[in-house]
Amino acid sequence: MSDVRVVLDSRFTIGEVDRRLFGSFVEHMGRCVYGGIYEPGDPLADETGVRKDVLALTEELGVTAVRYPGGNFVSNYRWEDGVGPREHRPVRRDLAWRSIETNQFGLDEFVDWARRAHVEPMMAINLGTRGVAEALDLLEYANSAPGTALADLRVAHGHRDPHDVRLWCLGNEMDGPWQMGHKTADEYGRLAQETGRAMKRLDPTVELVACGSSNAEMPTFGSWEATVLRHCYDVVDYVSLHAYYEPHDDDVRSFLASGASMDRFIDGVVATADHVRVAQKHSKRINLSFDEWNVWYQGDFPGEDALDWEVAPRLIENAFTVTDAVVVGGLLISLLNHSDRVSMACQAQLVNIIAPIRAESGRPAWRQTVFHPFAGTAANARGTALRAAVEAPTTVTAEHGTVPVVDVAATTTGDGRSAVFLVNRRPDEPISVELELAHLGAIAAAEHTVISDADPQARNTVDEPDRVVPTTREVTRLDAGRLAVTLPPASWNMITVTHGK
């Protein structure tokens, strides 16, 4: 008799898994751009300054879309500083991170990099210190066919073809008093409406993300989304969510159940968006862009005011533990379980800044622990997300109340491949799980991949880059439609199944 029983049935679905769910984020912050994806002169960089090792790991990670150039950075950024001949680009003071921005990397370089990394670029515009006119200039530069002034400027800069950027964030965290040009919900809603409408007039193919709350603990959470959407429901396609998770008071049990918090956040934003839909009699649904999420030990960050005008300073370069990786895997499970409404998500950030990939000058880039659950999920969570029927004991957590001891998500494709993702939220006990997959088709083969470790604090470092890697475990085949597996304590687990006739 297993502790947990999971029943999957291809007729009980949540929604298609949008590939954009496996997005990441490159901000001009710390060493994410400079010394991260781009480090001219480094032995591992090519002649364009792109670090080939970081690029290769980005592809291996399975990232599908990358948000750029911020984050807080964008709210005082002038995009035109970052295009054109490098010797003419101005050096600026970025107020978001009190850093010196050399502008040697900008829009054109990012799009080139994104094409090489096979990721979709997702651009954010500055709605802090700028408005509609500047947004239109940027969009014309990025997306318009040659023949008008700003498109021709792009051509003159060596990019004849439009960049064809589809995804645009209407500012970043405009609800946050820390944001340059922070807005009230009414101010931002009006600005988003007018900017969005003008952008779609210029390029009807763009998809627009309105800023939701910077996190679920903002005093304006909920009312912000409602007011903003009341103003701009018609012109936007998505509303954003940002959330970072960390253990409080060493409460690992709560930390391992962080997905419960993400679930609640998503449910709240869905409810608010649908409330506006109903109240304003719209037929269109606003879906969610969870465009900043991750584990982040925020106590390590000294605050913006403590930063002191360096170029690419070393900021929040956390070395993630095994436990962090398990939590990241759990957050991905939460996203999968909201595939009906969450259309995209960006782990923040890609390199160096609380990132799956780390890079140091002159040394090969390496995979942090959190790289592995992301890569595994991105590779295998394909097709349709299933509504899993889970019978499981519960556990009581200080932060999230009573939650099941396992977190489960599952996907299945049309061509006979399924995947089940499970987190064992118990820090100290294994869990036995029986998977009933008969309704997905007969099981031809199954594999169980695990992230867990006797030392949950184990990390990968530049000197020991593979200290933590996924391992495989035995899968017991109970019959043609049933498997049994055991989840180690505090573990992330992926069961990939191939179905036969």
Enumerate binding residues for a copy of itself (CB under 8 A).
76, 90-93, 95, 98, 100, 128-133, 136, 140, 144-145, 147-149, 152, 177, 180-182, 184, 187, 190, 194, 197-198, 201-202, 204, 304-305, 309
Catalytic choice (120, 173, 207, 317): 173
Torsional sign, CA 413, 3, 259, 476 = negative
Q: How far is CA 388 from the centre of its chain?
A: 23
**Minimum distance of a copy of itself from residue 85's CB (angstroms):** 15
**Minimum distance of a copy of itself from residue 133's CB (angstroms):** 4
C-alpha angle 37-41-47 in degrees, rounded to nearest 5: 75
Identity of the residue, 103 or 240, whose beta carbon is nearer to a copy of itself in the bound complex: 103
**Minimum distance of a copy of itself from residue 489's CB (angstroms):** 45
Catalytic choice (27, 109, 292, 317): 292
Torsional sign, CA 133, 138, 139, 144 = positive
Identity of the residue, 303 or 414, whose beta carbon is nearer to a copy of itself in the bound complex: 303
Residues in the chain: 501
Surface-to-core class of residue 243, CB atoms within 10 Å of its CB (0-12 exposed, 13-18 middle, 19+ buried): buried
Contact between 254 and 248 under an 8 Å Cβ cutoff? The reply is: yes
CA atoms within 13 A on the CB side of 279: 12
**Minimum distance of a copy of itself from residue 153's CB (angstroms):** 10
Identity of the residue, 163 or 367, whose beta carbon is nearer to a copy of itself in the bound complex: 163
Contact between 423 and 331 under an 8 Å Cβ cutoff? The reply is: no
**Minimum distance of a copy of itself from residue 308's CB (angstroms):** 10
Could you tell me whether strands 92-94 and 99-101 are parallel, antiparallel, or unpaired per DSSP bridges? antiparallel
Identity of the residue, 91 or 444, whose beta carbon is nearer to a copy of itself in the bound complex: 91
> Is 194 an active-site residue?
no
> Is 120 an active-site residue?
no
What DSSP string runs through 308-374? --EES--------BHHHHHHHHHHHHHHHTTTTTEEEEEEE-SBSSS-SEEEETTEEEEE-TTHHHH
Identity of the residue, 90 or 362, whose beta carbon is nearer to a copy of itself in the bound complex: 90
Catalytic residue positions? 173, 292
